[in-house]
Amino acid sequence: MGNAWEESVKKPRFESLKGDLDTEVLIIGGGITGILCGYELWKAGVDYTIVEANEICSGVTHNTTAKITFHHGAIFHTMVDRFGEHTARLYVKAQNEALERYKELCKNIDCDFEVKDSYVYSLNNKAKIKREVLALRKLGIKADYVKELNLPFKTAGAVRVENQAQFNPLKFLYEISKDLNIYEKTKILELKPDGAVTKYGKIKAKKIIVATHFPFINKHGSYFLKMYQHRSYVLAVENAENINGMYVDEAETGLSFRNYNNLLLIGGGGHRTGKQGGNYAELRNFLKKYYPQAKEVYSWATQDCKTLDDIAYIGKYSYNTPNFYVATGFNKWGMTNAMVSARLLSDMIKSKKSEYQTVFTPQRSIIRPQLAINSVEAIKGIFNIGAPRCPHLGCALSYNKSEHSWDCSCHGSRFSEDGKLLNNPATDDAKF
C-alpha cells in the first residue's frame, strides 16, 4: 500500500555512471547515511561521489518512521552501567548535536518538520522507567516521569524528553540531494584497495565509505557476527486522534506511535528477520481493539541492523582496511545516527580528531551476550538441510507468509518469491 512519505514528493533523477571516474571519497549507498555523508563532505569542500545500486532512498530509508531524537528507548541506565558515565554522556551529546543539525537544516526546507516531545513508556515496568529518568538526569538531560499519556491503553508511565522532532524524510533528502554528485543504478561489483569496479568502468578513490545499511564486505570487520537484522511493520491510519508526541515502548516487541498530518502511524509486530513475529496482523488486531473507527491508508515494513551493545558502528571498517569507513547498526534510530555518521566520518576523512570516535568505533569489544545468539543462528542456518540458500554466506532461507518473501535469519537478506534481492547484505539474487 505504499507509505505516508511519498505523496506530493518529487524525486530528483540522477544518471548512472558510464565509464571511469576519479574521486577523493567514494560513498557506496544512496540512503540517508550516504546522502548526509556526501552533503557534509560537499560543505567541507571535499571531493566525493555517491553511487547507488538502485535509486536514492529506495531502501530502508524509504520506510522509516522518521523520529529525530536522542531518546533511543530505555537504554541509558544500561549504557551507564556497561560503558560508564563518560561514554554515555558522549553518546547523548553526539545524538543531540545531530538533532540540532537537523533543526538548522530544516529551517529552509519544506519537509513537515515539527518539534515534538518524546516518550518512552512501559506497560508494566515502572521501576525501569524510573531508573531511566535518573540515568538521563545524571547525563545532564532534562527528563520527567509522566503517568498519564495520550494513548488509548494503560501504561506504567513514561520518560518524557522535550524538544525532539519528526519530519518527512523524503522531502528533506530529495531537497538536499538535488545538488549532490550522485550516480543511480550504479552497482559496485568489486572493491579494490584504490577504488571500486562497476559494470561500465572503474572508480578510483583514495577513501571509501560503505553506507549500504548492512556492510557487504565479509572478509573484514566480522559484521556478519556483530549484527543481525530486525524486521518491523507500520500502519498509517485516518480517523485516530492526535497523540501530540512520539511514543515508543521500552520493550523490544512493543509498539511505537507518531502523527503525520492527519494520519496516526503505528509501528510494531517486530521480530528477527527470518523468524516468526506479530507482523501486520498484530497491528491490525490492535487497531480493531483501540481505534475501531480508524481507516488504514498505508502499510509498510522495514528492517534495522542491531549491534551487540545498542551503539552504532561508525568509523574505520576494520583494522586491516585503513582507507575504508563504515556506518551501520543504527538499532532502529537511523535519523540521528545517520547524521552522527556523516559528521564523524567527515571529520575522520579530513584527519580531524573527534571526541566521538571511541564511542562508535567498530573495533570495540564484541564479547557480549548477543554474540552467542548470533553465532547459534548462523550455525542453525548453515546446517538446515533442504531449504533454499542465501547467496551471502549460504544460510537457509525461510518463507515469510506475511510478505511473500524468502528471508535469512542469519544476517537478514531477503528475496522475492522468484529470488530477486530485496534486502542486503546479499549482493546477488537467490537461485531456487
pLDDT per residue as tens digits for the range 341-363: 999 999 999 999 999 999 999 99
510494531: which residue's cell? 268
518524546: which residue's cell? 118
Using 50, 70 and 90 to split pLDDT, how confident is the model at 386?
A: confident
Is the pLDDT at 372 greater than 80? The verdict is yes
Which pLDDT does position 139 carry in this prediction?
A: 96
Which pLDDT does position 388 carry in this prediction?
A: 87
Is the pLDDT at 374 greater than 80? The verdict is yes
Which pLDDT does position 379 carry in this prediction?
A: 84
Which pLDDT does position 1 carry in this prediction?
A: 65
Q: For residue 375, count other CB atoms closer than 10 A to its CB.
A: 12
Instruction: Kindly report the pTM of this predicted structure.
Output: 0.95
Of the listed ranges 41-55, 206-220, 323-337, 383-397, the least confidently predicted one is 383-397
Is the pLDDT at 383 greater than 90? The verdict is no
* Cβ contact 227:214 at 8 Å: yes
Is the pLDDT at 86 greater than 80? The verdict is yes
* Averaged pLDDT, 112-128: 97
* Averaged pLDDT, 354-383: 91
Using 50, 70 and 90 to split pLDDT, how confident is the model at 2?
A: confident
Go through the domains of the chain in sequence order and give each one's CATH number. 21-64+171-225+309-360 (3.50.50.60), 114-165+228-306 (3.30.9.10), 369-423 (2.102.10.10)
* Averaged pLDDT, 167-189: 97
Q: How far apart are CA 260 and CA 175, in angstroms?
A: 19
Which pLDDT does position 185 carry in this prediction?
A: 97
Using 50, 70 and 90 to split pLDDT, how confident is the model at 7?
A: confident
Q: How far apart are CA 61 and CA 58, in angstroms?
A: 7
* Averaged pLDDT, 199-217: 95
Closest CA relative to residue 182, chosen from 6, 64, 315, 42: 42
Q: What are the cell numbers at 61?
A: 530509508
Using 50, 70 and 90 to split pLDDT, how confident is the model at 108?
A: very high
Question: Could you report the per-residue pLDDT of 135-159, keeping only the tens digit for each?
Answer: 999 999 999 999 999 999 999 999 9
Which pLDDT does position 8 carry in this prediction?
A: 80
Which pLDDT does position 326 carry in this prediction?
A: 98
Is the pLDDT at 239 greater than 80? The verdict is yes
Average pLDDT, the chain: 95
Closest CA relative to residue 267, chosen from 305, 295, 302: 302
Q: How far apart are CA 32 and CA 61, in angstroms?
A: 6
* Averaged pLDDT, 359-376: 93
Question: Could you report the per-residue pLDDT of 253-294, keeping only the tens digit for each?
Answer: 899 999 999 999 999 999 999 998 899 999 999 999 999 999
User: What percent of the chain has pLDDT above 70?
Assistant: 100
Which pLDDT does position 251 carry in this prediction?
A: 94
Instruction: Determine the 3-state secondary structure of 151 from DSSP.
Output: coil
Q: What are the cell numbers at 398?
A: 525461510
* Averaged pLDDT, 371-391: 85
- Measured in residues, the chain has a length of 432
